[in-house]
Each structure stands twice: as C-alpha cells, then as structure tokens.
Structure 1
Amino acid sequence: MAVRVRPGAARERVGGCVPGPHGPALLIAVNAPPVDGRATEAARRALAAALGVRPATVTLRLGAASRDKVFRLDDPPADLAGRLDRLREGTVR
C-alpha cells in the first residue's frame, strides 16, 4: 500500500489521501524526524496500529529515503479494504 509520510508533525495521525507516484497514498503524520529511518519506523508502526495489525506484519518495500513509501502487509485481515477506505476518507486515529 502506498503512503506519504509527514515527519516532524506536532501529533501522530493516520488518515486522508493524496495522489502519489505509487497511486493514491494514505497520509501518515509522525512525530519522528526524518533522520536515520526514524520517521519510516514511526510510520510503519502507526500504519500497523491504524489497521489493527501487529507491526511485525508491516514491511517497507519502496521509499526508504522518500516521503512516498510502499508498505507490504503480510497476512492481511479479511476487511483490509474497508479499513483502508475509512482511513483514506479521513477517519484518523
């Protein structure tokens, strides 16, 4: 799934959608700075929490040094499409 990370945000949020180079991207705002992969790791954990899955099931596929990233979800829940739709519509946690 495509995401766009906003590092250094005042508060962590997951929700909303913007066009991105990998298709429609879910917005993830994290407190962590974009240094040494901290924002990527924070985004991975925030995405897992928002989807209600274990962080170990979410892995980075593309974009380690970019705000536009692609994550893979191993063993996705049956209602993943619905969860993503709610997040993309702007329902934030």
Structure 2
Amino acid sequence: MSDWCRTAGDGRLTLTLHIQPGAKKTDVAGLHGDALKIRLAAPPVDGKANEALIKFLAERFRLPKNKVTLKSGHTSRRKVLEIIGSCAEEASALLNPHP
C-alpha cells in the first residue's frame, strides 16, 4: 500500500487525496506525489466538490456516506479523509488504478 492510504489499529482508513474539481467525469486519475488523485465532475463551489467526493468514495466502498469523513482540506485540493468500515485491501482494489 502506498503513502496515500494508512490503516489505524481499529481498522479506520485515512486517505490522502489530491482533488481536481470541474473535470468531465468523476474518476480515479492515479498517483499525484504522495496522494491519490481523483477527478470530480462537481465544481469547487459551495462545498459541492466535497459532497461529490464523499458520495463517490462511499459508493466505491459500498458504505453509507456517514462512514466517510473529510478530516482536513475543506477548501484545498489536498484533502485527508477517514473511512470507517473498510480495509486497506479494499482501498487498493477499488481506488488504485494500477492494482
């Protein structure tokens, strides 16, 4: 697993992401330094990109949206999210564009 995904002792995942809002479609774009780059179709206005990111990750992990929390980076392209109820293997398989 790469630096963009860390697992806590209680099973929580912490993801470091680089977000590109306003893209043509929402999808994983690959690694961007020590972060995973995600393109979002939502614009970076009024929290729409953050909402779209949480929805995208919840769908990818097949979890309710309340299990995905934006911990930092609310107004930045670099964001740290926490996911409860998943594991690092799922993150690798679902998010890593090169498994």
Please, what TM-score do these two structures have when normalized by structure 2? 0.74
Q: Runs ≥4 in structure 1, deviation > 3 angstroms?
A: none
Please, what TM-score do these two structures have when normalized by structure 1? 0.78
Gaps of 5+ in 1: none
1:55 to 57, 65, 73: 65
Counterpart contact for 1:9–1:29, Cα < 8 Å: yes
Cα deviations by residue, 1:12-70 (Å, 9 ceiling, x for unpaired): 11352222xxxx32222111111111111111111111122111110110000001100
2:38 to 22, 28, 33: 28
Distance in 2 between residues matched to 1:55 and 1:11, nearest whole Å? 20
| Identical-pair percentage | 35
User: SS of 1:40's equivalent?
Assistant: helix
Distance in 1 between residues matched to 2:62 and 2:28, nearest whole Å? 12
Tell me the number of residue pairs that the alignment of Structure 1 and Structure 2 aligns: 83
Change (3 A) 1:66 1:33: same
2:88 to 56, 81, 86: 81
Once the 2 structures are TM-superposed, how far is the Cα of residue 7 of structure 1 from its aligned partner? 0.5
Gaps of 5+ in 2: 1-14
